[in-house]
């Protein structure tokens, strides 16, 4: 199946604005590369590991859209969303699935989060440490669904889950992963000791990716994945939602209702500064709300009253 690819260069400092605009107009995937590399094969994906900071001055950004998308309409929508950005330099071309799959396989490497959690590409050997008896290893193929562990928003959630497991607050419990993407957070929770997991996403591609990754990790019988309209209205002791701040605001009532009394919640996909509006919103239901930052992104977590 072909896709329409938009590509442009931007300053690293403006990258979050470009990415937010592209996601708002329906980008299926966004990849960020070192614009100063001499050849495409020397580029590295701009999604720093835990504790690392990006050092590139310019970013080569590529976004994937449905093949039938109209480039002129996309540019018009992007300019309307953020007219302060330069969209005139954007180029378009048609690409096949394998172009993106090959890029992911070439660039993605095993990553560790917290004490025990490892995210390892399905085609990569286990690195030292990931073969330890207590290691929680997720074998992943994101496909076209968001979630490889390398983006700070996902990293923040993986660290939170790892911390819950270390304190014995995950063992045998049910976990809701709202906006599951590739299923990475639900799968990590299961590998860390959760009894079962439920994933929810409005993208059918994410539903397929989560099912595929669950089967690859041998936990397909312990996870259920739903579109929002089919999601069971029940409560969970652990809820994690890695979606955009605007969606977290709009879904606050729904997410709060999914957390059992005394249960834990983690919210991510929040740009630094956006937490100022979300903290009082979620403070209506949650105590001990805490903000943790990584690069330009933050996580909010707390306990349901």
Q: Write down the pLDDT at residue 52.
A: 36
Q: Is 179 annotated as a binding residue?
A: yes
pLDDT tens digits for 7-35?
Answer: 998 888 888 899 999 999 999 888 877 66
Of 93-97, 193-197, 199-203, minimum mean pLDDT range: 93-97
Domains of the chain: 2-101 (3.30.70.120), 142-304 (3.40.50.150)
pLDDT tens digits for 204-242?
Answer: 878 888 998 999 999 999 999 999 999 999 999 999 999
Residue 54 confidence class, pLDDT cut points 50, 70, 90: very low
Of 53-62, 73-82, 197-206, 287-296, minimum mean pLDDT range: 53-62
The CA distances from residue 298 to 39, 220, 245, 274, 301, in Å, are: 33, 30, 10, 9, 10
Q: What is the pLDDT of the chain when averaged over all its residues? A: 85
Is pTM beyond 0.75 here?
no
Q: Is 154 annotated as a binding residue?
A: yes
How close are the terminal C-alpha atoms of the chain, in Å?
47
Indicate if the pLDDT at residue 164 is higher than 80: yes
Q: Write down the pLDDT at residue 107.
A: 59
């Amino acid at each position: 199946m072909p896709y329409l690819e938009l590509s442009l260069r931007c300053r690293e400092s403006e990258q979050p604005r470009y990415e937010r605009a592209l996601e708002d107009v329906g980008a299926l995937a966004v990849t960020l590369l070192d614009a100063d590399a001499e050849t495409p094969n020397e580029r590295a994906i701009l999604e720093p590991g835990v504790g690392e900071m990006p050092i590139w001055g310019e970013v080569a950004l590529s976004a994937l859209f449905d093949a039938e998308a109209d480039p002129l309409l996309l540019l018009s929508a992007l300019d309307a969303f953020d007219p302060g950005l330069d969209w005139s330099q954007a180029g378009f071309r048609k690409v096949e699935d394998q172009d993106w799959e090959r890029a992911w396989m070439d660039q993605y490497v095993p990553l560790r989060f917290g004490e025990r959690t490892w995210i390892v590409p399905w085609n990569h050997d286990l690195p030292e440490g990931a073969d330890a008896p207590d290691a929680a290893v997720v074998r992943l193929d994101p496909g076209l669904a968001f979630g490889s562990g390398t983006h700070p928003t996902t990293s923040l959630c993986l660290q939170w889950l790892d911390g819950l497991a270390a304190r014995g607050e995950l063992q045998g419990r049910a976990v809701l992963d709202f906006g599951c993407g590739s299923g990475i957070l639900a799968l990590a929770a299961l590998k860390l000791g959760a009894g079962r997991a439920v994933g929810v996403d409005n993208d059918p591609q994410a539903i397929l990716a989560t099912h595929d990754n669950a089967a690859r990790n041998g936990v397909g019988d312990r996870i259920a994945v739903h579109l929002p309209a089919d999601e069971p209205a029940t409560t969970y002791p652990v809820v994690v939602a890695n979606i955009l701040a605007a969606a977290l605001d709009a879904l606050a009532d729904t997410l709060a209702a999914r957390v059992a009394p005394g249960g834990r919640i983690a919210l991510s996909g929040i740009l630094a500064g956006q937490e100022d509006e979300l903290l009082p919103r979620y403070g209506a239901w949650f105590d001990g709300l805490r903000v943790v930052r990584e690069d330009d992104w933050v996580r909010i977590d707390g306990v349901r009253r």
